Structure 1
Amino acid sequence: MKEYKRFLYGLAVGIVISFYLISNLKSFVSYENVFIDKTDFVLSSRLIIYNKTCGLQHWKDKKNFGHRDDIPFFSILSTILSSTEKKIIIIEFGANVGQFSERVLSIPHKIPYIVHSIEPVVTLFHLLRNRSRTFKKQKNDKHFHYNLAISDQSGQKPIYSPSQYGEGSTLGKAFLSNFKEIGNVTVTTLPEFIQKYHIKTPISFIKIDVEGFEPEVIRGMNLSINANIFPLFSFETGETWLDDRSVLAKEYTLKSFVEMLNYFQYDSYFIGNPYLLPISGTYWNNSFDGLRRNPNVLSILRHSQPWKNLKKLLNRIPFTSC
């Protein structure tokens, strides 16, 4: 009889502890302390949460965090993206020779990918178009290419290119002695581009890498009325925001730009390997201002389908410490 009572007592205690853990799980698994382990970037199911301290420490330790190490993030895009008329619609600005489009098309996916790559430099555009023929595509995938630039206005603009390898071309004035004008390029806004080429919306994902003109591109997106058709996009930041090529970029600190996106109901993250580092709202740390690296920022419209997809993914992550 004593053993039976002891068993019932132990069972009751176990139930109470289990109820407590379940009821407090959500406080552990909030988007503000979520980081994705790099094993997930190779399509592994193993994910780990790290707290803010761990993420900041990783930022300090990894000099290349958020620069070239960000590319593996796109391996999990298929778990976040939402389709438009049973297709994934992707637009990339500053496509170069197609490194991103080649990568994203090669990732296994069940829904057809329609990728629109925009490259303003003629020589790079021709390389992109030629290389596209060799890209691994799945049935019904399509890859379109455009020789133009996206900004916050339309018309013809001069484009400048560096005389040495290592920097990208820009619409900004020749702010450095090693940049020279190489010609004019057609410039348009994203809404005008979508309308002209009859691209279906909402756009599943937009990748923006335009050498310091990211603020102009995003201003041209007119998020005050178009946020619902642009639920998910990434953009590069860093040193190109600190020189003279973009007037608009110099008007913002990275913090104030993220705050502007927060006003339009976007949550933002630094993209890194292995972490997504939340930077919206109270999570922001002023130590990121003036950083001398080129991190990519992921912005996702709150309560959109991609936001729900990401939240569902993160809610399945077991809590651990670093």
Structure 2
Amino acid sequence: MKNIAILTGGDSAERVISLRSGQVVYDHLPRDRYRPFLIDVQGAHWREMSSGSAIDKNDFSLPAKEGRLHFDAVFGAIHGSPLEDGKMQGYFDMLGLPYTCCDGFTSALTMNKHATKQLAKAVEMPLAPSVLVRHGDLVDTDALVRQLGLPMFVKPNTHGSSFGVTKVKTPEALEPALEAVWPYDREALVEAFLPGREFSNGVFRTGGQVIALPVTEIIPETEFFDFAAKYEGKSQEITPANLPLSLAEQCQEWSRRLYEALGCSGIVRCDYILVGETFHLLEVNTIPGLSPASIVPQQVQAYGWTLEYFFSLLIEEAIHHRQTASRI
């Protein structure tokens, strides 16, 4: 029986989603193989949720009747900081503790949308034109409009769940859109609008093979795939997507290529816009939502697997990866 620490909560605006994801993982880990513990991470306070006991950060253990309870692996379910952005992974690496998500470098890289796009160019991934704006920069609105056109999107560069995202339709709306970013980030990505259909694809590694799950089409009831569309039922999500086989395979092949190029581990979700017959990358999510309203659980079920089986694969792959790395 393996003790599994499920990291949830976190410090960003995505905390509420992380708590939902963590609970789904807790509910679906097979009890004949694992003893799950929900660990709420809030700043320097890391506590096991059922007992309220504090984690001993010297060795990431819990007090128990029999002495100290040590964990065999960590299941990452924190969206945003301090896990999806790579802050905690170095700590677990020093302890030699397996975790189900990407390492610190890849997590930090993919949390940064602008940096991810620079690397995606190296594998010739089609992308929407964009400009990075930092807080305090003097912004030439007319020049941005000439370069990117209207409408355009303004979004936090290192934040998820569509917090702070605005679809800008007029030059006058650009400055307020940038102001909406600053509570979440010190950098804004200003991105050209691509007219097309939105798709999402989960991808992970198991047994040495990179597997792309069935593709999902996202049809938001709102103007774009915002927080309400993602988590409050304001979208239609079709899995598997109504696509010709050739286009579905193109999307899955891009997901596998990006997974390898970025050095990913665990389950990752790639989001795209399909323009004509060409997929354009929007972003890469290295700890995608696992809540009941999230896309990856839908794709896992469409693949014919239960969440119990899927989560077990992620844990065993993380343990195997750690064991292999320790022998090098």
After TM superposition, the score normalised by the length of structure 1 is 0.28
Higher share of residues assigned helix: 1
Higher share of residues assigned strand: 2
Greater length-normalized contact order (CA 8 Å, ≥ 6 residues apart):
1
After TM superposition, the score normalised by the length of structure 2 is 0.28
Higher Cα radius of gyration: 1
